[in-house]
């Protein structure tokens, strides 16, 4: 078979013999390893799956070789070659494939779904290209701090059809971030050919839509890949913004070990086999007289032996202990809670307390920054960022495109890079497009990759402003159902500031819910200390002591509970009100202690009832506080519907003082 | 054709009863009037006769269960040949006022308690009430439920415990057992406590824990009564078939004194802050059941009786109670009680108030004693007279010593000075 020749040019031409041998070795390692794994999989020796990148070795090794060692790579399950070239060891890979305790994901994910952040590879997840916005966020942190780190966001051509990819490229372009988007176009998204995935002849054609440069290169020419990647990385590093590189290539096997790839016809296969990247590289190295065939054969033998030995070793390593199933869900906070040491106080309403908190956080720590729609010049839809753009500038109070998924994912990347990002959702109803990033990336990082993600997603929640079904949700249960994220929902200015500061200082992703009806509620104004102080996350508060009935509530419903308690006291009923303040982690103790005292429980929430926090608390008390109960548990909630617009409907939807009183009296 | 036997109304104030024991089983043939089950109410344990003949095909309630009057108890698949069970129960006593409600409540609680406290299937107890009752070994019978449908709430239990009148099931049992042991000293035995004994024990302790008992007594010169009594003794017995004792005289004098001091004829509920002065006098007479228990027989509207009528009523009530042929209304609803301890030759007694009364009068033995008599001219002489003490235990929560003594002296004055000769003519 005639092999198409490749020749060194540009940056590739400057590489030493040793560097070239190293690149060749990593390509060969990938191929032999994946070949071995594929055989083991087919022989029933390996659980899970194998996603061989055989045929794409030049893309992977070339991407890694074109990057600086400090640069960060966000890729896919088919990028083992990049990981190998970035320094991830065979042992690490083998341990992950066997789900072993000491592997990069501690057995929490298998095969090639892992990253080693310290070696410059982001955690690999299955929804693609979910690491793209994370890479963009890392680049954002780099831009802010001037570290000169470039992020490479890689995916296959199929994943470019997603909104996530679009948002990532668009954001990077708008913010002029040091990102190189690489697309390994291996002709098939699983089984689907290019023309079923995008309407332009090439992926690279779409770069024009983002206003960024792009090029199409031969992904099976190691020299061209190295040169292109290096050039794009250096451009980005020098402040010239992102670019797109489409690496045209071909995978020799199916999407995964179980896929025979019968959708590939012989003609196509033959065309690409002539362009096998390793054969071409070997040919070029021989032509240059740098290495001999014997050296290639000898390296293969050494690598095969090492791979076999490593796999045998990995098989016998410790499995993870199911006893540790629940560990690493959250990173432990290591710094002490900040007590309020300032005597200066100022009367603030709810939103002023939030703005004050944001200001002091940004003033105190330059790693704190904000992202969101219209939060800069316009100072936010509700003016939560009032004065902050003028004080801290466009690099720390960042106006984003309408890309909730994009900028939330970027917050993950920035957090991994050492920043403390605060994302503002204009309305918490718009969390849906961001949920993928929150749950796939933010919630799983510490658990699966051992890297905490200190970020805050804040925004207005709740009904009562005649804003209809898309500006009114109470997302507590929606968020809380996902393990790995914290959820706080303050009810007054003091707690709002204290919890905000605690949220930003928490090493974990915290969803910070601001009930918009509280923002400027006149009777909620109170004295709030100036200076940093924290309200501990996970601690509820007894708002009012009582002996006959406990009302557990939070956020906008606390004042409803207080009014109801006042009315009920006229009938001689002494109501205790617990403001849980934090949904996750829930302060079970304060609830159970109160129910032990009163024996009667009413849970009041604005969120819809089915599968909700009220259900959760009810379940908690039924399980752990059963012997304290003197009556069935009451839940006062809206109906299980969407939030309606018509004032008469919305008023009927939101739990009222009267509804609480009626429910309690029916019980008595 | 099948017939259903329903829960009879064992007195007009009864709304429910507890099935104590089935006397028949499914498959048994029963004849009309055959006893089929035992039912328990406040102080009455009674057998229910079958209103029909037939074969028992189904028992619809379990032993220990408390059901409402009219609830289906048993199914007979036989010929219906008799009247309904309600006709067995005479309802010939007119309704009376305030005590009704109190009695109904009392009965409810008693019946509830007759089944095992925690296991009872038809008392709804919340988890926390079950826990507190179980941990403190409380007797539910002592706790009044204020929740919906009379359910005992945590507050009720706590109020009860805070009242300081906590009757622990265990401690009562122990006390009674001790008493039993002492009685039967020659042969030390242990045995189960009878239902009646248990009720008495519980009621006595409950009363002691409820009222502020004070005992006051006066000495009465019965010479006036004795003269009448000895004069009519013989003819009275011949006419009526029973002896004329001091008790009808004391009862009548008491009734008159109660009219003068209606506060003594009242009920007092501190928890509910209700003090009920009763319009009628339902006079309770403690009847000893031949040393096997004590019941208070009630003579409803006793203030409408003559001396003779009263004497007859007292006699009839005693017989009924001793024979066990009484209805619930015969042993409930008293507004004031007399305990005739004199008949057992007492000198002075301090009786326990029969709740929810506020006082109880104890008659003491009448004996000939030397008495100093002062003549109109101021000269003293010693005479032999029939005298005896009358002692009153009264509830100091409700009234004070002055009323107790005015009341006692009113009885004394009537016994010593009334001319009742016409009554016996």
For B135, the closest chain A residue by CA position comes to: A627
CA dihedral A266, A267, A272, A275 (to 10 degrees): 120
Residues B221, B330, B400, B419: which is the catalytic one? Answer: B400
Partners of B136 on chain A (C-beta within 8 Å) are none
In three-state secondary structure terms, A514 is strand
Please give the Cα distance from A212 to A225 (Å, whole number).
Answer: 19
Q: What is the pLDDT of residues B288-309, one digit of tens each?
A: 988 888 889 999 989 888 888 8
Partners of B153 on chain A (C-beta within 8 Å) are 630-631
**Interchain pair B127, A629: CB under 8 A:** yes
For B153, the closest chain A residue by CA position comes to: A630
Predicted confidence at residue B187, as pLDDT, reads 63
Please give the Cα distance from B74 to B36 (Å, whole number).
Answer: 9
pLDDT value at B171 more than 70:
no
Label residue A18 exposed, middle or buried (CB < 10 Å: 0-12, 13-18, 19+). Answer: exposed
Q: Considering CB atoms only, which of A548, A627, A668 is closest to B127? A: A627
- At residue A329, what are phi and psi to the nearest 5 degrees? -60, -40
For A548, the closest chain B residue by CA position comes to: B155
Specify the range with the lowest mean pLDDT, choosing from A17-26, A454-463, B135-144.
B135-144
Residues A113, A252, A471, A515: which is the catalytic one? Answer: A471
- Which residues lie across from A526 on neighbouring strands? A348
**Interchain pair B126, A630: CB under 8 A:** yes
Asked if A376 and A398 touch (Cβ cutoff 8 Å), the reply is: yes
**Interchain pair B126, A668: CB under 8 A:** no
Provide mean pLDDT across the span A271-283: 94
Predicted confidence at residue B106, as pLDDT, reads 39
Distance from CA of B145 to the nearest CA of A (A): 12
Q: What is the pLDDT of residues A340-362, one digit of tens each?
A: 877 899 999 999 999 999 999 99
Q: What are B's interface residues with A at a Cβ cutoff of 8 A?
A: 126-131, 147-148, 153-155
Q: Best residue in A572, A627, A628 to probe B by mutation, most B CBs within 10 Å?
A: A627
Q: Considering CB atoms only, which of A599, A626, A668 is closest to B154? A: A599
**A and B: number of Cβ contacts within 8 A:** 25
Q: How confident is the model at residue A339 (pLDDT cuts 50, 70, 90)?
A: very high
% of chain A with per-residue pLDDT over 90: 95
Distance from CA of B184 to the nearest CA of A (A): 44
**Interchain pair B126, A548: CB under 8 A:** no
Predicted confidence at residue A36, as pLDDT, reads 94
Predicted confidence at residue B10, as pLDDT, reads 65
Provide mean pLDDT across the span A396-415: 98
pLDDT value at A6 more than 80:
yes
**Interchain pair B127, A628: CB under 8 A:** yes
Please give the Cα distance from A508 to A653 (Å, whole number).
Answer: 34
Q: What is the pLDDT of residues B34-89, one digit of tens each?
A: 888 888 766 567 777 787 788 888 888 888 888 887 788 888 875 444 333 333 33
Please give the Cα distance from A475 to A478 (Å, whole number).
Answer: 5
Please give the Cα distance from B153 to B158 (Å, whole number).
Answer: 9
**Interchain pair A630, B127: CB under 8 A:** yes
- Which residues lie across from B3 on neighbouring strands? B76
Q: Considering CB atoms only, which of A548, A627, A668 is closest to B128? A: A627
Predicted confidence at residue A112, as pLDDT, reads 96
**Interchain pair A599, B148: CB under 8 A:** no
Provide mean pLDDT across the span A550-567: 98
Q: Best residue in A572, A630, A633 to probe B by mutation, most B CBs within 10 Å?
A: A630
Is B396 designated active site?
yes
Decide which of B140 and B386 is more confident.
Answer: B386
Specify the range with the lowest mean pLDDT, choosing from A299-303, A319-323, B330-334, B386-390.
B330-334
Partners of B133 on chain A (C-beta within 8 Å) are none
Provide mean pLDDT across the span A239-264: 93
Please give the Cα distance from A130 to A75 (Å, whole number).
Answer: 9
pLDDT value at A367 more than 70:
yes
Please give the Cα distance from A82 to B157 (Å, whole number).
Answer: 72
Predicted confidence at residue B186, as pLDDT, reads 62
**Which of A220, A77, A39, A234 is CA-nearest to residue A154?**
A77
Q: What is the pLDDT of residues A164-214, one digit of tens each?
A: 999 999 999 999 999 999 999 999 999 999 999 999 999 999 999 999 999
Specify the range with the lowest mean pLDDT, choosing from A271-275, A561-565, B121-125.
B121-125
Partners of B131 on chain A (C-beta within 8 Å) are 627-628
Please give the Cα distance from A553 to A579 (Å, whole number).
Answer: 5
**Interchain pair B127, A548: CB under 8 A:** no
**Interchain pair A599, B126: CB under 8 A:** yes
To the nearest whole number, what is the mean pLDDT of chain A? 96
**Interchain pair A630, B131: CB under 8 A:** no
Please give the Cα distance from A622 to A629 (Å, whole number).
Answer: 8
Helix (H) or strand (E) holding B266: strand B266-269
Helices A222-237 & A17-42 angle (0-180, nearest 10): 110
pLDDT value at B8 more than 80:
no
Partners of A628 on chain B (C-beta within 8 Å) are 127-128, 131
For A667, the closest chain B residue by CA position comes to: B148
Predicted confidence at residue B1, as pLDDT, reads 67
Partners of B154 on chain A (C-beta within 8 Å) are 599, 630
Partners of B155 on chain A (C-beta within 8 Å) are 548
Partners of A548 on chain B (C-beta within 8 Å) are 155
Provide mean pLDDT across the span A393-411: 97
For B147, the closest chain A residue by CA position comes to: A668
To the nearest whole number, what is the mean pLDDT of chain B? 80
Provide mean pLDDT across the span B1-9: 77
Q: Is the pTM of this model over 0.95?
A: no
**Interchain pair A629, B126: CB under 8 A:** yes
Residues B33, B79, B271, B396: which is the catalytic one? Answer: B396
Predicted confidence at residue A162, as pLDDT, reads 97
Q: How confident is the model at residue B91 (pLDDT cuts 50, 70, 90)?
A: very low
Partners of A630 on chain B (C-beta within 8 Å) are 126-129, 153-154
**Interchain pair A631, B126: CB under 8 A:** yes
Predicted confidence at residue A1, as pLDDT, reads 61
% of chain A with per-residue pLDDT over 70: 100
Q: What is the pLDDT of residues B349-406, one digit of tens each?
A: 999 999 999 999 999 999 999 988 888 888 888 889 999 999 999 999 999 999 999 9
Do the bridges between strand B66-68 and strand B35-40 make them parallel or antiparallel, or are there none, so unpaired?
unpaired
> Rounded to a whole number, what is the distance in angstroms from the first to the last CA of chain B?
60
Q: What is the pLDDT of residues B196-217, one digit of tens each?
A: 888 889 889 999 999 999 999 9
pLDDT value at A115 more than 80:
yes
For B134, the closest chain A residue by CA position comes to: A627
Decide which of A249 and B230 is more confident.
Answer: A249
Q: Best residue in B118, B126, B135, B149 to probe A by mutation, most A CBs within 10 Å?
A: B126
Asked if A515 and A567 touch (Cβ cutoff 8 Å), the reply is: no
Q: What is the pLDDT of residues A423-459, one digit of tens each?
A: 999 999 999 999 999 999 999 999 999 999 999 999 9
Distance from CA of B128 to the nearest CA of A (A): 5
Q: What is the pLDDT of residues A48-87, one digit of tens each?
A: 889 999 999 999 999 999 999 999 999 999 999 999 999 9
Predicted confidence at residue B378, as pLDDT, reads 85
Is B386 designated active site?
no
Provide mean pLDDT across the span A317-330: 96
Provide mean pLDDT across the span A110-131: 97
**C-alpha distance from residue A196 to each of A158, A201, A210, B317, B380 (Å):** 9, 11, 22, 104, 135
Q: How confident is the model at residue B168 (pLDDT cuts 50, 70, 90)?
A: low
**Interchain pair B148, A668: CB under 8 A:** yes
Please give the Cα distance from A63 to A58 (Å, whole number).
Answer: 8
Q: Using CA of residue B331, residue B332, residue B336, residue B337, what is the dihedral sign?
A: positive
Partners of B129 on chain A (C-beta within 8 Å) are 630
Q: What are A's interface residues with B at a Cβ cutoff of 8 A?
A: 548, 599, 626-631, 668
Distance from CA of A128 to the nearest CA of B (A): 51
Helix (H) or strand (E) holding A229: helix A222-237
Distance from CA of B206 to the nearest CA of A (A): 26
| DSSP secondary structure code for residue A230 in this structure | H
């Amino acid at each position: 078979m005639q092999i198409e020749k490749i020749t060194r040019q540009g940056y590739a031409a400057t590489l030493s013999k040793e560097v070239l041998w190293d690149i060749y070795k990593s390509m060969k390692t990938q191929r032999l390893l994946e070949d071995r794994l594929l055989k083991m999989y087919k022989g029933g020796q390996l659980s899970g799956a194998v996603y061989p990148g055989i045929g794409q070795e030049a893309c992977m090794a070339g991407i890694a070789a074109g990057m600086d060692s400090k640069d960060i790579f966000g890729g896919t399950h088919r990028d083992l070659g990049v990981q190998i070239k970035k320094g991830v060891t065979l042992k690490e890979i083998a341990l992950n494939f066997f789900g072993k305790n000491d592997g990069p994901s501690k057995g929490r994910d298998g095969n090639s779904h892992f990253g080693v952040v310290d070696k410059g590879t982001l955690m690999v997840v299955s929804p693609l290209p979910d690491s793209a916005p994370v890479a963009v966020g890392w680049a954002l942190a780099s831009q802010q701090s001037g570290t000169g780190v470039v992020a490479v966001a890689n995916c296959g051509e199929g994943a470019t059809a997603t909104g996530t990819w679009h948002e990532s490229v668009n954001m990077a372009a708008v913010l002029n971030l040091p990102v190189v988007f690489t697309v390994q176009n291996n002709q098939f998204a699983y089984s689907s050919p290019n023309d079923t995935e995008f309407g332009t002849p090439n992926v690279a054609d779409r770069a024009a839509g983002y206003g960024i440069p792009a090029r199409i290169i031969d992904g099976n020419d190691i020299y061209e890949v190295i040169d292109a990647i290096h050039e794009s990385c250096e451009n980005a590093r020098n402040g010239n913004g992102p670019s797109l590189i489409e690496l045209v290539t071909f995978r020799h096997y199916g999407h995964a070990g179980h896929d025979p790839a019968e959708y590939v016809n012989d003609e196509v296969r033959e065309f690409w086999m002539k362009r096998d990247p390793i054969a071409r590289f070997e040919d070029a190295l021989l032509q240059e007289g740098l290495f001999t065939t014997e050296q290639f054969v000898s390296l293969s033998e050494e690598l095969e032996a090492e791979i076999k030995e490593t796999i045998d070793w990995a098989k016998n390593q410790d499995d993870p202990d199911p006893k540790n199933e629940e560990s690493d869900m959250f990173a432990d906070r290591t710094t002490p809670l900040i007590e309020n040491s300032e005597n200066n106080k100022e009367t603030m309403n709810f939103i002023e307390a939030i703005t004050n908190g944001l200001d002091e956080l940004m003033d105190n720590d330059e790693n704190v920054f904000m992202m969101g729609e219209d939060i800069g010049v316009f100072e936010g839809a509700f003016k939560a960022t009032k004065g902050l753009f003028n004080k801290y500038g466009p690099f720390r109070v960042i106006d984003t495109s309408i890309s909730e998924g994009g900028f939330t994912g970027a917050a993950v990347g920035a957090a991994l890079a050492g920043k403390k990002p605060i994302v503002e959702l204009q309305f918490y109803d718009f969390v849906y497009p961001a949920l993928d990033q929150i749950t796939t990336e933010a919630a799983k990082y510490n658990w699966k990759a051992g890297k905490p993600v200190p970020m805050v997603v804040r925004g207005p929640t709740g009904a009562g402003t005649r804003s209809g079904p898309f500006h009114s949700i109470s997302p507590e249960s929606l968020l809380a159902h996902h393990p790995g994220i914290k959820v706080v929902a303050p009810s007054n200015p003091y707690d709002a500031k204290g919890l905000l500061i605690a949220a930003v200082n928490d090493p974990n992703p915290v969803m910070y819910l601001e009930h918009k009806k509280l923002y400027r509620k006149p009777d909620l104004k109170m004295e709030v200390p100036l200076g940093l102080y924290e309200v501990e996350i996970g601690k509820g508060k007894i708002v009012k002591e009582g002996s006959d009935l406990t009302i557990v509530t939070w956020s906008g419903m606390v004042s409803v509970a207080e009014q109801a308690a006042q009315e009920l006291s006229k009938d001689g009923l002494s109501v205790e009100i617990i403001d849980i303040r934090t949904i996750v982690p829930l302060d079970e103790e304060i609830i159970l202690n109160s129910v032990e005292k009163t024996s009667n429980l009413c849970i009041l929430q604005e969120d819809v009832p089915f599968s909700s926090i009220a259900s959760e608390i009810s379940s908690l008390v039924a399980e752990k506080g059963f012997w304290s109960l003197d009556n069935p548990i009451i839940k006062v909630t809206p109906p299980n519907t969407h939030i309606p617009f018509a004032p008469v409907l919305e008023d009927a939807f939101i739990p009222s003082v009267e509804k609480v009183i009626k429910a309690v009296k029916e019980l008595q | 054709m099948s017939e259903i036997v329903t829960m009879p109304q064992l007195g007009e104030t009864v709304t429910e009863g507890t099935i104590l024991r089935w006397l028949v089983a499914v498959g048994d043939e029963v004849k009309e009037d055959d006893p089929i089950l035992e039912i328990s109410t406040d102080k009455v344990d009674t057998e229910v006769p079958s209103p029909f003949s037939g074969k028992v095909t189904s028992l619809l309630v379990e032993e220990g269960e408390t059901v409402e009057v009219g609830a289906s108890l048993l199914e007979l698949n036989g010929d219906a040949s008799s009247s309904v069970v309600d006709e067995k129960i005479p309802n010939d006593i007119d309704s009376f006022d305030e005590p009704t409600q109190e009695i109904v409540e009392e009965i409810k609680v008693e019946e509830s308690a007759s089944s095992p406290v925690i296991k009872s299937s038809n008392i709804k107890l919340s988890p926390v009430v079950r826990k507190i009752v179980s941990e403190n070994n409380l007797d539910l019978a002592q706790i009044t439920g204020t929740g919906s449908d009379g359910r005992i709430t945590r507050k009720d239990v706590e109020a009860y415990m805070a009242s300081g009148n906590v009757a622990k099931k265990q401690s009562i049992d122990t006390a009674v057992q001790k008493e039993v042991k002492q009685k039967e000293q020659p042969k030390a035995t242990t045995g189960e406590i009878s239902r009646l004994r248990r009720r008495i024990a519980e009621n006595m302790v409950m009363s002691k824990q409820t009222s502020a008992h004070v005992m006051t007594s006066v000495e009465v010169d019965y010479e006036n009564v004795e003269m009448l009594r000895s004069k009519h003794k013989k003819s009275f017995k011949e006419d009526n078939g029973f002896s004329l004792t001091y008790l009808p005289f004391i009862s009548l004098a008491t009734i008159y004194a109660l009219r003068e001091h209606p506060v003594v004829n009242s009920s007092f509920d501190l928890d509910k802050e209700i003090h009920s002065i009763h319009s009628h006098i339902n006079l309770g007479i403690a009847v000893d059941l031949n040393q096997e228990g004590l019941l208070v027989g009630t003579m409803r509207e006793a203030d409408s009786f003559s001396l003779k009528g009263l004497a007859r009523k007292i006699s009839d009530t005693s017989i009924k109670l001793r024979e066990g042929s009484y209805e619930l209304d015969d042993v409930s609803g008293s507004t004031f009680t007399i305990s005739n301890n004199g008949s057992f030759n007492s000198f002075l007694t301090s009786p326990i108030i029969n709740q929810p009364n506020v006082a109880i009068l104890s008659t003491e033995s009448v004996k000939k004693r030397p008495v100093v008599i002062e003549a109109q001219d101021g000269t003293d002489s010693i005479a032999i007279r029939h005298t005896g003490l009358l002692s009153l235990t009264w509830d100091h929560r409700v009234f004070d010593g002055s009323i107790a003594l005015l009341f006692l002296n009113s009885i004394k004055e009537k016994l010593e000075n009334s001319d009742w000769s016409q009554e016996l003519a």
